[in-house]
């Protein structure tokens, strides 16, 4: 058993609005002239330290936690679960 660091990134699904991202983009970034940036999406980041026999198992555990405990709401959110590089 070893400790694996697993990252969870939660964002709004593509069809769901992201007012925070839109406001940061429109009222801060564009207003200050950085038109090179065409969009901003925001999300929540979690870093979990998991004791497991393999990185695959660690990822499986984190995915299960996110589903069962409603860490994200599958109706509105997408999640990305990945091993920390």
Q: Do strands 43-52 and 77-83 pair parallel, antiparallel, or not at all (unpaired)?
A: unpaired
> Which one, 5 or 76, has the nearer CB to other proteins?
76
Segment near other proteins (CB under 8 A); pick from 3-11, 43-51, 52-60, 71-79? 71-79
Number of H helices, E strands in the chain: 2, 3
Min dist. Cβ of residue 74 to other proteins (A):
5
Interface pick for other proteins out of 44, 74, 80, 82 (rule CB under 8 A): 74
Interface pick for other proteins out of 2, 41, 73, 84 (rule CB under 8 A): 73
């Amino acid at each position: 058993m070893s400790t694996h660091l697993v990252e969870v990134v939660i964002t709004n699904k593509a069809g769901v609005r992201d007012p925070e991202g839109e406001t940061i983009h429109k009222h801060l970034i564009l207003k200050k002239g950085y038109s090179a940036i065409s969009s901003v999406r925001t999300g929540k980041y979690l870093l979990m330290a998991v004791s497991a026999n393999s990185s695959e198992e660690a990822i499986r555990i984190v995915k299960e936690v996110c589903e069962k405990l409603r860490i994200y709401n599958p109706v509105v959110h997408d999640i990305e679960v990945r091993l920390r590089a």
